[in-house]
A = this chain, B = another copy of it.
Amino acid sequence: MVNQVPQADGTWQSCKSDSSGAGTSGGESSKESSRCSTPVLDADRSDRLRDKMRRRIESGDHWFSLEFFPPRTAPGAVNLISRFDRMGSGGPLFIDITWHPAGDPGSDKETSSMMIASTAVNYCGLETVLHLTCCSQGKDKITAYLAKAKHLGLKNIMALRGDPMGADWDDEEGCFNYAGDLVKHIRSEFDDYFDICVAGYPTGHPEAESYEEDLRHLKEKVAAGANFVITQLFFRAETYLKFLDDCRAIGITCPILPGIFPIQGYQSLRQLVKLSKLVVPEEIMEVIEPIKDNDAAIRNYGIQLAVEMCKVLLESGKVPGLHFYTLNREVATMEVLRQLGLWIEDPRRPLPWAVSAHPKRKVEDVRPIFWASRPKSYIYRTQDWDEFPNGRWGNSSSPAFGELNDYYLFYLKSKSSKDALLEMWGEELKNEASVYEVFTCYITAQPNRNGHKVMCLPWNDEPLAQETNLLKDELEKVNRRGVLTINSQPNINGKPSTDPIVGWGPPGGYVFQKAYLEFFTSSENVSALLEVLKKYEPRVNYHIVNVHGRNLTNAPDMQPNAVTWGIFPGREIVQPTIVDPVSFMFWKDEAFALWIEQWAKLYEDESPSRMIIKYIHDNYFLVNLVDNDFPLDNCLWRVIDDMFEQLDASSKSTCLQVSSSV
């Protein structure tokens, strides 16, 4: 709260405010003031990790972070990425990905440390720290890894020495032998670009001469340019707290985050202890040994132990955030976080779509609506853009979308197996109506005739969004008749931005939408639809395209149409989704290809089922409709009704003609 009080003589006197002023910022303006080019709906988006930490420390708001290791296999990668999405919803400040020197960690393989970290940043929108070990690696190779990480949008590095490959690791030529050297190298080659984390050892590094020697070593690493420290795991709160005090005493002032290891099983504990050369305290081994074959019991004990230790840490007032060694598992860590009250699923969305964490995209606040259910695909296809639309789609976007030749990449694949897909979409299709049935079951969440729920479609790998549920009855009706909907939104005329279903952006705002409907349908239906649409000029904008790319539209001057926008206190208008005529032509390639790639290919070549999907792919049209009159009742259902009436009328008149000519 600003509370400088003007004096009668026209000067100003400052005086401390006793009100908190949360949620507002006061300040002075001058010609030199720095300006912001983005709506900064989510202030976090443009901050660096060190700034986010600073702000959370200042506000006393505890955080947590999560460590993962790269998977061994491609299906493992798909699983891990869904885990990122699920664990990301609890609000980690960051995640980190370990570096596996034996697994080609800097390669383009989908399972490499580098690619997993990149996926977390770009596709899951998570602030991510990439580990990097320097031991036995040439400087040039390290520099190349860092350059690649930067290019991929990674902004944070955990600088580690790593374990020597052989016994004789001392002072290799042209290589780094200490993490501190790596920190110096990063700073000298990349200046202040990266936020750097280093490891701390609460009981001293196993190879250090002494605990004190190891503390001095940590101080050197921080002095070389590290921004924060994460500790090795430990089993007793006092171990960490003593270490913290000792660090502070010798002048290490940066955040030092305790590494928490919830015990999740007997084997994993033994393995970790072996690797880290730590000793598990007697009192813990005494509990675990008798139940070592009971995984659930060990996990419950591990959770209880971790919760108790974390409480002590947080209550000390010295711990701003907790770092969890997850071992790529969800349950234990989530349970600990829930019991600590740190797991907060915030339904508020900064924007209606899933934001990427790539620094290049930090101003991005407009996207075409077409990819609403496939945000990862959109991010993938626009990854080479140098600029992202900021505020308006405008002309930043003679859009060059990435080609589809790589679209079978693992992260665009369905999470479901081929068998599961066949159960949902039918082992055998009889005709087009079988396809209508699949769409209808997806919409209604009812089991199909073989008793399987249809949880996804090629265009939607998740069950129906809450918002779409608002349209469920209408959607069911039209899908039954072959209007195969793949995207839709209701019209919204100024709901609060905090609305749990359609809200987004900061509180105190109002959100709006134009009704939108996108579907595949037959050419007969399209003929009738075009006739009907004449009655809805200029209220309804349409784009109608077949797989051959012929596009019919009434979009004025091929301009984008804003279909979602928000008005917020003290800000410019934000319009995060648009229907863009040009992008639609790129989307339709993807939308049509999904019929073949995800559905037809489930069946044998030349099989009737495959031919049915192929027929739809070749002959149906992709249609999108926008009702511009957002304050009135959505007229798009009426448009579809009219289309069916038109069809009925013309088939009746054909019958009459036939009968009269007989």
Contact = CB atoms under 8 A, between A and B. Distances in A.
A599 interface: no
A212 interface: no
A206 interface: no
Contacts of A570: 538, 541, 554-556, 559, 561, 626, 628
How many residues of A sit at the interface, in one of the four size bands? 35 or more
Nearest to A28: B551
Nearest to A12: B550
Contact of A573 (B2, B24, B35, B575): B575
A635 to B, nearest CB: 13
Interface in A536-593: 537-539, 541, 543, 545-562, 565, 567-573, 575, 578, 581-582, 584-586
Contact of A10 (B3, B523, B561, B586): B523
Given A1-B537, A10-B619, A562-B572, A554 B25 contact: yes
A589 to B, nearest CB: 10
Interface string A394-408: 110110000000000
Nearest to A22: B537
Interface of A is mostly: loop
A26 interface: yes
A119 interface: no
A551 B584 CA distance: 47
Nearest to A537: B24
Interface in A514-545: 523-524, 526-527, 530, 534, 537-539, 541, 543, 545
A538 B29 CA distance: 19
Contact of A391 (B394, B523, B567): B394
Contacts of A39: 559
Given A538-B24, A553-B27, A585-B31, A558 B631 contact: no
A167 interface: no
Interface of A: 1-8, 10-12, 19, 21, 23-31, 33-40, 43, 390-395, 397-398, 493-494, 508, 510, 512, 523-524, 526-527, 530, 534, 537-539, 541, 543, 545-562, 565, 567-573, 575, 578, 581-582, 584-586, 618-619, 621, 626, 628, 630-631
12 contacts: A5-B530, A19-B534, A37-B394, A40-B557, A40-B559, A390-B392, A393-B572, A494-B494, A562-B567, A562-B571, A567-B628, A570-B626
